[in-house]
Amino acid sequence: MTSSSPRVLIVEDEPVLAQGLAEALGFQGYECDIAPDGRDGLHKARRGHYDVMLLDIMLPHLSGFEVIEALRGEDNKTPTIILTAKGAEEDRVRGLELGADDYVTKPFAIAELVARVAAQVRRARMDRGDGETFEADGLHFDLGRLTATRGDEVIPLTPREGEILAHLHQKRGNVVTRDEFLLEVWEYPTANVQTRTVDNTLAALRRKIERDPAAPVIVETVRGKGYRWGGETT
Ligand code: CA
């Protein structure tokens, strides 16, 4: 793919929370690895080239503070969101002082954390200035930043939506079937995911980006076949 999936390292010793985060982020198109303690987290962060690290503070072997301090000491700038306990304001301050980029306080809504992760990915990719860009229907798509901009309006895209748009745009003029989306974007064997998932995701994306859903000019449905890029090619 043109824009590879952002990679997230989840350093969290509560397995249910770690797994829940991995699933929620995975559904949005992130690739996640889990480290169940600080030592493993540091090891993975040093080798993994992650776009974002989610870092719990109270961890076995090494605390989140020790992990972030070690990484920043080695000039490893992996964007990091620390997960702090409710009421522990000094943890938040200390984490940010040691070089964390953002924090969320437990218990948090998964949707909020997913939004914070997306913000970190966008910022990092903006700094790097990479990614594919194109225009359609007055929208400027920047798949590096994961945004669609129309005038002053900035519409954030998920990594999965970015891949869908990249795929449609690359194959403009041709129909992209649901099976092809499942294989190329979801990277699942077709038997494991229902084609309805593709339809639901495309419908949600169109609601976000198209001015008039009755007259779609960016994504066209080709009845019984799949989808086609409907935008002017620039
Ligand atoms: Ca913990």
87 versus 229: the higher-pLDDT residue is 229
234 lies in a domain?
no
Q: 17 alpha carbon to ligand 1 midpoint, in Å?
A: 10
Q: What share of the chain is helix, strand, coil (3-state, %, to 5)?
A: 45, 20, 35
Q: 59 alpha carbon to ligand 1 midpoint, in Å?
A: 5
1 lies in a domain?
no
User: What is the percent of the chain where pLDDT is above 70?
Assistant: 89
Q: 142 alpha carbon to ligand 1 midpoint, in Å?
A: 37
Q: Which amino acid is at 174?
A: N
Mean pLDDT calculated for residue range 47-71: 95
Mean pLDDT calculated for residue range 189-217: 78
Q: Are residues 98 and 150 in the same domain?
A: no
Q: 39 alpha carbon to ligand 1 midpoint, in Å?
A: 13
For residue 201, pLDDT over 50 is answered with: yes
Alpha-carbon separation of residue 182 from 32, 93, 122, 192, 201 (angstroms): 19, 43, 25, 9, 11
For residue 1, pLDDT over 50 is answered with: no
Asked whether 146 and 114 are in contact (CB, 8 A), the reply is no
Q: Are residues 104 and 198 in the same domain?
A: no
25 lies in a domain?
yes
- The Cα–Cα gap between 160 and 200 comes to 13
Per-residue DSSP letters for 149-185?
Answer: EETTEEEE--HHHHHHHHHHHHTTTS-EEHHHHIIII
Mean pLDDT calculated for residue range 174-198: 77
Task: Identify the CATH number of the domain in which residue 164 sits.
Answer: 1.10.10.10
Task: Identify the CATH number of the domain in which residue 113 sits.
Answer: 3.40.50.2300
Confidence band of 234 (pLDDT split at 50, 70, 90): very low
Q: Are residues 113 and 33 in the same domain?
A: yes
Of 158, 47, 53, the closest CA to residue 99 belongs to 53
For residue 119, pLDDT over 90 is answered with: no
Please say whether the dihedral angle defined by the alpha carbons of residues 102, 39, 128 and 23, taken in this order, is positive or negative: negative
Alpha-carbon separation of residue 121 from 63, 78, 114, 127 (angstroms): 24, 10, 11, 10
User: What is the percent of the chain where pLDDT is above 90?
Assistant: 48
The per-residue pLDDT of the chain, averaged, comes to 87
pLDDT score for 130: 64
Q: 225 alpha carbon to ligand 1 midpoint, in Å?
A: 48
> Residue 22: which domain range?
7-126
Does the model's pTM come out above 0.75? no
Strand order in the sheet with 219-222: 176-177, 226-229, 219-222
pLDDT tens across 132-153, in order? Answer: 888 888 889 988 888 999 989 9
pLDDT score for 191: 53
Single residue among 126, 148, 171 that ends a domain in this structure: 126
- The Cα–Cα gap between 6 and 122 comes to 10
The total of structural domains in the chain comes to 2
Confidence band of 2 (pLDDT split at 50, 70, 90): very low
